[in-house]
Structure 1
Amino acid sequence: MSQSNTLPLLSVGLRHTERLSVAPIHTVPEIDESWPGFRDMPPVLATAMMIAFIEQTCVQALRPFLSSGQRTVGTHVDVSHVAATPVGMTVTAEIELIEIEGRSLLFKVTCRDDAGVIGEGTHRRAIIEMDRFMKRLGEKSAAATTHP
């Protein structure tokens, strides 16, 4: 992957950690009111939120290595969620870049709460050029409105 001379070189072994204090907004019943099946579920960290937190951790880790016109998008998630985390506990996401194939980046991920491991696995992201991506997204939207 070519980069500007002003950016640090992205390489396998990059590690990053983020912390999240679980709030009610991160729990299963609060996911989305249009999904009534979740409303009477236990108020624990939602799997979707844990995955979003993993993605956020990767995004933050990669920012120093991307040009102003680049972003990353998630392309694959293979993560377990093996323990419930209540509101008030802190979750730590630890990521490690383990593979670079062109613009495709593979991360090993682990999430822990105050009691231990709650999830682990892998997450793949792709580096995109934002202008090109948004152009293609607009084309897709336009095609969908003309061909429902």
Structure 2
Amino acid sequence: MFDLRSTLLPGMNNTVQKLVDESDTATRYGRGSLGTLIATPAFVSLMIDASIATVENRLPEGFTTVGTSFEFTHDAPTCMGMTLRVKSTLVEINGENLIFDIVASDDYGEVGRGRHQRAVVNRKRLFEKADQRINNRLS
């Protein structure tokens, strides 16, 4: 494995934003009673996307990241038609593990926070391991 600190630095950050549309709503995720509010799975997905985008283009060829843990709070509703902004900051590098702090806000202020851990892995080995698991199950 290579030294992650040669390409990644704590403090690196990335912000993604999305106009919340019908595909992001609780109705789309089977919670019709919550109508036009953003669904928690869509909210979390954007948090993960922001973390990936912070580091993905700085990894050596053949490497990627996979999520290993995620904690978050979803503190306020965001309605369809509002813009959700998510800032993810790399705060710690521990071996192959990357820790991100995440803050989400919409047009009226902060709506949630998270802490996400991703592991840097060799893409080829990851798929070999997946194939091995499938083959062992089929044997």
TM-score normalised according to structure 1 size: 0.86
Partner residue, 1:66: 59
Q: Which runs of 5+ in 1 are unaligned?
A: none
Q: Where in structure 2 are the equivalents of 1:24-103 lying within 5 Å?
A: 24-31=22-29, 36=30, 38-103=31-96
Contact kept in structure 1, 2:24 and 2:39, CA below 8 Å: yes
Q: Distance in 1 between matches of 2:18 and 2:136?
A: 39
Q: Deviations over 1:5-44 (max 9, x none)?
A: xxx620111111111110110111212xxxx5x2443321
What is the CA distance between 1:134 and its match in structure 2? 0.4
What is the CA distance between 1:3 and its match in structure 2? 5.4
SS of residue paired to 1:28:
coil
What is the CA distance between 1:51 and its match in structure 2? 1.0
After superposition, the CA RMSD in angstroms is 1.8
Partner residue, 1:16: 14
Partner residue, 1:117: 110
SS of residue paired to 1:53:
helix
Q: Distance in 1 between matches of 2:136 and 2:38?
A: 38
1:2 matched to 2:2: yes
Q: Deviations over 1:76-130 (max 9, x none)?
A: 1111001111111000001111110011000010000101111102111111111
Q: Deviations over 1:56-76 (max 9, x none)?
A: 111111122112211111111
Q: Which runs of 5+ in 2 are unaligned?
A: none
C-alpha distance 133-83 of structure 1, shift in aligned 2 (>3 A): same
After TM superposition, the structure 1 stretch with the greater mean CA deviation from structure 2, 75-84 or 55-64, is: 55-64
Partner residue, 1:135: 128
Q: Aligned pair count?
A: 138
C-alpha distance 130-89 of structure 1, shift in aligned 2 (>3 A): same
SS of residue paired to 1:2:
coil
TM-score normalised according to structure 2 size: 0.91
After TM superposition, the structure 1 stretch with the greater mean CA deviation from structure 2, 67-76 or 101-110, is: 67-76
The amino acid of 1:53's aligned partner reads: L
